[in-house]
Structure 1
């Protein structure tokens, strides 16, 4: 205790701290011994000791068998990891092919019909999803023939 600072020495030599340390240790020992007698002894220690007593020393596995068992376990885990990696590779490849195929298909569609017509098609679909007010010429932002810009195609360009 000589190595501790003075304020910690006085705190640790306080009678309240000393009482709490001794009382806590006694209470903890009582509770742990109760747990040991109630659960650990009858359910863990007794079955293990009877199992070890029933087997003879020649039936116990030796070190070589344990090493072989550990090696088999290690190799099987490596094989399972390899199988997981192979499966994940093919799944990710399929997702990438679908994604890039859709991007190329969308690009080919835009190339075939033109940027303006593709914009019209997507705009008409968006307007149909919103009630169609913009492309049918009703009470939207500009129907067919409204203004100089809307007179050509029937929609407003911004």
Structure 2
């Protein structure tokens, strides 16, 4: 105790501290055994033991249930992480396609001019409306043929 400062040595040599050091272990074990005998045994251990023994044939043990719950929680965390990673990459791809196409259209308009870009946009609109009109016409023809066969 020579290496401790003087104020700590006087505190540790106090009769109260020495008494607590000598009686703490015995006192603590007696108090814990009293706590187990008065509270834990009659209110927790015995009811749980009777519950588990009454359902022993059909109910799995408590360790298996806890282990299953932990495995489910860990797997859900892993699936959540995987879902977040996949959604990040999907959203990133859509954003890149959107902004890339927007920049590409801007560059195209800059390169050919506004009038030629509007003419090309009108041509593209005509092609798309032609495909849509053809699809609608064929689907109506198939629907009429389906109704006519009934």
Query: With structure 2 as the length reference, what TM-score do the two structures score?
Result: 0.42
Query: With structure 1 as the length reference, what TM-score do the two structures score?
Result: 0.40
